[in-house]
Amino acid sequence: MTHAASMNEVPSGPELPGNPGTYADPESSGEPGRQRILARETTSSRAGAAVVAAILVIAVCGYALLETAVRAVGQPPWLIDPQTAADQVTALPAGVPPVLLGTVGAILLAAGVGFVLAAILPGRRARHILADPRAAVVVDDEVIASALARRARLAANVTQEQVMVVVSRREVQVNVRPTSGVPLSTGDLQAAVEAELRDMAPEPMPAVRVNMASSGVIGA
């Protein structure tokens, strides 16, 4: 079973919360916007990239504006005269060492790819949706992991240091180091975590995998 996908997971379209039958039909509770709120809150808004892009464009256009306005009014240029700039650009790669040109180009290329990816990829946040008749509820994965870790700890009768839970979109990994001399049943632990997960009913429901460490902790 593959581990949770990385940033390059191919998106399968805007993934909206699944079957509306999972929780009370939002239409009947008078909230037609519920699906949209949930879709919004589980993906990144790309506000950060937007701010960076906007500022860069403003800076470039601002400078071009300065030079153009200066030229239009007939005054001498500030840094580079637009005419001279155009001459130099059309003469490329003549006046510039190729290594510099290539490096700048590569940087721009990489940045461009980064922005395009930011635009296309869904940017899912580490969150799950919970069913609720009245409100749109979204839970951070860390909170889910914390609750499951507690349940696992109690079920296995070990300390906090012996349990580590990793929650990703479709999988919950429970890593346990048993106490030396006190064997644990993987099956029981798995059943306990799955039961808690069923009560929680997160969406999408992750599968549980229990990893029992081969070495135990002495005298816990």
| Residue 10 found at the interface with other proteins (CB under 8 A) | no
CA 98 – CA 92 distance, rounded (Å): 10
Taking the complex as a whole, how short is the minimal distance between the CB of residue 46 and other proteins, in angstroms?
Answer: 5
Is residue 114 involved in binding other proteins (CB under 8 A)? yes
Of 104 and 182, CB closest to other proteins: 104
Q: Candidates 1, 7, 10, 79: give the one binding other proteins (CB under 8 A).
A: 7
Q: Do residues 34 and 26 make contact, with C-beta atoms less than 8 angstroms apart?
A: yes
DSSP annotation string for 14-37: ------GGGS--TTTTT-TTHHHH
Residue 74 vs residues 70, 78, 83, 163: alpha-carbon distances, Å? 6, 12, 13, 73
Give least dist CB 125 to other proteins, A: 7
Q: Of 135, 195, 207, 213, which lies in the binding site for other proteins, with binding defined by CB under 8 A?
A: 135
Alpha-carbon distance of 34 to 131, in angstroms, equals 12
Closest CB 63 distance from other proteins, rounded Å: 10
CB nearer other proteins, residue 149 or residue 216: 149
**Alpha-carbon 94 to chain mean position:** 43
**Nearest CA-CA partner of 195 in 159, 154, 143:** 154
Residue of 86, 182, 195, 207 interacting with other proteins (CB under 8 A):
86
Site string for other proteins, 140-169 (x = CB under 8 A): xxxxxxxx-xx---------xx-xxxxxxx
Full DSSP string of 42-61: TB---HHHHHHHHHHHHHHH
User: Contact between 136 and other proteins (CB under 8 A)?
Assistant: yes
CB 216 within 8 A of CB 180: yes
Q: Lay out the site mask for other proteins across 177-196 (x = CB under 8 A, - = otherwise).
A: -------------------x
Task: Tell me how far, at minimum, the Cβ of 160 lies from other proteins, in Å.
Answer: 5
The window from 17-25, 98-106, 180-188, 210-218 that contacts other proteins (CB under 8 A) reads: 98-106
Contact 176, 189 (CB under 8 A): yes
Beta bridge partners of 43: 124
Scanning residues 21 to 80, which ones bind other proteins (CB under 8 A)? 29-31, 33-34, 36-37, 40-41, 43, 45-47, 49-51, 53-58, 61-62, 64-65, 68-69, 71-72, 74
The secondary structure element, H or E, covering residue 129 is strand 127-130
